[in-house]
Structure 1
């Protein structure tokens, strides 16, 4: 988890989660490497979780806003939990990261209720994110249906 000294840089304050937003890194780094990149950045970009084929790393509490949908205090940042699926690896490794993400979503929903699923581009139509999921499933509805994550 981020330290107290980094909270102002990466957090917009407290939050009651009303959804889960899925992102997809546009790099070839693991969950741990993406977390370190976030921590060492001078920018305010953040997420609640980084997920790869092996692990899911929670880096922010679920009741704290993250900066992940690109427009300061928009509804994505203010009300949704951010999950970054790490793009590292071939399709098989990425698909395992997706499976881990689905398990994480189920765990979050078990704790907080049946929160709806969003993609980054639901909040910012200029972003083609999560790009690998959009390439694979064409849209959020196909992804939700495939993994039985009905909103």
Structure 2
């Protein structure tokens, strides 16, 4: 048992010497976790609005080089997804897909919640339109509506 403790101590001291050994003159060694470094960088960089992304329900900013932040921006409605949201998400992510400088996108919600879901008051007119007694036409209409809204999430990929 004593031999294991001696080996453990010698390995520990060897590791400490290797980690604390001087590195290349131009490099410095940081023992802080990556998350705190990332937090420091994020806190010093002020996000700036991206000029060609002006939307009613979204806010697009660039906090760092190559990273865009798309924020659902209706905190007063708990970021509920209205008709403008469905249209703007497709437009926004199609523009981002064409941007050669963007390598990553962060999606978040303004305020306390990411989103409360679909804005039922705004969407009721579209979902509750009378289609008559023809079940086939009603089902075709609902299918096209679902496909239209599915595109909003598919475009993110």
TM range (shorter): 0.3 to 0.5
With CA pairs under 8 Å and 6+ residues apart, which has the higher RCO, 1 or 2? 1
More helix by share: 2
The alignment's TM-score, normalised by the length of structure 2, stands at 0.31
| Rg larger for | 2
The alignment's TM-score, normalised by the length of structure 1, stands at 0.32
